[in-house]
């Protein structure tokens, strides 16, 4: 019985591997629109797809980002200014793209732009701490997608949404997890809605990688700023040692989990764009595969116990 099951599992993985090796043809005729190309995953993906022969349209927030990307790419790659929180900017970019791609439509859009700060316990934050991040990470994904969806349908193309393992589990407070849970919901509903039109929708759920999102100095500075703004009674609830314990734990977690090989994520993005049979979800990073995602499938009582055990506890904790 065991050998039979093992044989089936082996056959399945070999079959899936073979199926996923097939790539789309005529890459030189396929336009790919990527947001957040100033740095990180978006920048690497733009340059990678450009080398593979795709026609890349890279949305950058800054002129510096546009200039530097142009210098490191071929003449095929186009850049445009894009602020995903500004609907006028999003609409203007969509109009430019429509003029460029013509009747063939847009092969893929990659919603990569995102921010991660501020992040901290829920009672350290205000609604104004939530709004800017939700505008980028969730509102931007929705607005950009809808602005070019007709072009994607015309090409029977792809929508690739960059979420996070923290769209599956929420071990810390703040708007980041809220925004990524929202991306997951938008991704799933969109995937079902556009499947009849031949459009494929994929979600990328990376673990910890060495980008601006996981910059230790920026994260620590943000936490200290939140702490400094707290009313004294809230500080008293948490205790004098809570801040330093949190910063120490942040260091430890990033040392253990953070991966420096950004191409693991870019490779998943490229597969979602270029494979004839892309997956619906990708989980780059060992921590995503072997820690965060398995934890997300566990009963809530177990995942809560794990998070509470390893998170710093306030002075008034009853646990």
Cα distance between residue 154 and residue 151, in whole Å: 5
Share of the chain above pLDDT 90, in %: 71
Examine residue 110 and say whether the peptide bond preceding it is cis (omega within 30 degrees of 0): no
Which pLDDT does position 212 carry in this prediction? 77
DSSP letters of 166-219?
A: GGT---S-SHHHHHHHHHHHHHHHHHHHHGGGT-EEEEE----BSSGGG-HHHH
Residue 44 lies in a domain: yes
Which pLDDT does position 317 carry in this prediction? 59
**Which residue has tokens 């607005």?**
143
Residue 229 lies in a domain: no
Q: At what angle do helices 40-52 and 263-274 cross, to 10 degrees?
A: 50
Cα distance between residue 30 and residue 53, in whole Å: 9
Looking at the structure of the chain, the number of domains it has is 1
262-296 tens-digit pLDDT = 999 999 999 999 999 999 999 999 999 999 999 99
**Which residue has tokens 């500080």?**
235
Residue 313 lies in a domain: no
* Token output for 25: 């043809």
Which pLDDT does position 75 carry in this prediction? 92
Residue 148 lies in a domain: yes
Residue 125 lies in a domain: yes
Confidence check: pLDDT of 192 > 70: yes
Query: Which structural domain, as residue segments, surrounds residue 281?
Result: 25-210+260-305
Active site residue 176: yes
Catalytic option among 33, 176, 238, 282? 176
Residue 220 lies in a domain: no
Confidence check: pLDDT of 174 > 90: no
Residue 19 lies in a domain: no
Strands (E), the chain: 31-34, 55-60, 78-81, 108-111, 158-162, 200-204, 281-282
CATH number at residue 287: 3.40.50.720
Q: Tell me the pLDDT band of 21, cut-offs 50, 70 and 90.
A: confident
Lowest mean pLDDT among 11-20, 24-33, 64-73, 277-286: 11-20
Residue 71 lies in a domain: yes
Q: What single-letter DSSP state applies at residue 26? A: -
């Amino acid at each position: 019985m065991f050998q039979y099951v093992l044989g089936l599992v082996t056959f399945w993985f070999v079959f899936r591997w073979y199926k996923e090796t097939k790539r789309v043809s005529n890459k030189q005729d396929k336009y790919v629109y990527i947001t957040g190309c100033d740095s990180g995953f978006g920048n690497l993906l733009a340059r990678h797809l450009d080398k593979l022969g795709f026609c890349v349209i890279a949305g950058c927030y800054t002129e510096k980002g546009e200039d530097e990307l142009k210098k490191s790419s071929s003449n095929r790659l186009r850049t445009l200014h894009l602020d995903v929180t500004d609907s006028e900017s999003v609409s203007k970019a969509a109009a430019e793209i429509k003029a460029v791609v013509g009747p063939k439509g847009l092969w893929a859009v990659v919603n990569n732009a995102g921010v991660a700060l501020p992040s901290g316990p829920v009672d350290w934050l205000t609604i104004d701490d939530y709004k800017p991040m939700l505008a980028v990470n969730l509102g931007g994904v929705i607005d950009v997608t809808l602005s070019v969806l007709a072009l994607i349908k015309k090409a029977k193309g792809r929508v690739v949404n960059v979420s996070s393992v923290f769209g599956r589990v929420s071990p810390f407070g703040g708007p980041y997890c809220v925004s990524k849970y929202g991306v997951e919901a938008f991704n799933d509903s969109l995937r079902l809605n556009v499947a009849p039109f031949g459009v494929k929708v994929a979600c990328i759920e990376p673990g910890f990688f060495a980008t601006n999102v996981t910059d230790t100095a920026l994260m620590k500075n943000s936490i200290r700023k939140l702490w400094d703004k707290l009313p004294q009674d809230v500080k008293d609830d948490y205790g004098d040692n809570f801040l330093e314990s949190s910063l120490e734990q942040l260091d430890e977690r990033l040392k253990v989990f953070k991966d420096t090989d950004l191409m693991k994520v870019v490779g998943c993005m490229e597969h979602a764009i270029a494979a004839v049979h892309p997956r619906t979800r990708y989980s780059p990073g060992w921590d995503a595969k072997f820690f965060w995602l398995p934890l997300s499938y566990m009963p809530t009582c177990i995942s809560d116990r794990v998070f509470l055990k390893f998170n710093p506890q306030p002075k008034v904790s009853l646990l």
